[in-house]
Amino acid sequence: MAKNTVRATPQVEEPITKSTKATGKGMFSIVDKYIPIGNIFNEGLPVQYVPKVLFFAFMMMLYIANAHYADKLVRKTSRLNSEVNDLRADFTTLKADLMFKSKQSEVAKQVQSLGLTESTVPPTKITEKQREY
């Protein structure tokens, strides 16, 4: 079999043996240098702060839930406004069609197929003499 001369053979990389300890150049290592948070828990959990942390976490959950509810309400309001606009346009169109179809000339065209015709004699007014009751 011929030797592959187009592709280079893959070389195995040697594992890196550097230590994984922070060198002090990252943001978190700088924050840890000035605010040693890890030293707080050396002697155990500071119980005096637990109620405050739980209250803060509860308030944050309420804040997030309120934001989600407000966004949902805004989306619903927007959807209902667009639906109202569509219904208003439909109403206006149907009203214009009804006004057109209720004109005397249009009604006459529609009833002509039933054999009805317009009266050529104008209506007469019936009057009654005044009577005393």
Domain boundaries, position 77: 27-103
Q: Does residue 36 form part of some domain? A: yes
Give the pLDDT confidence score for residue 23 in this predicted structure.
59
85 neighbors 92 (Cβ within 8 angstroms): no
92 neighbors 84 (Cβ within 8 angstroms): no
Q: Does residue 61 form part of some domain? A: yes
Q: Does residue 73 form part of some domain? A: yes
Give the pLDDT confidence score for residue 10 in this predicted structure.
65
Q: How many domains does the chain have?
A: 1
Q: Does residue 67 form part of some domain? A: yes
Q: Does residue 122 form part of some domain? A: no
Residues of the chain with pLDDT under 50: 19-20, 22
Query: pLDDT tens, 85-96?
Result: 999 999 999 999
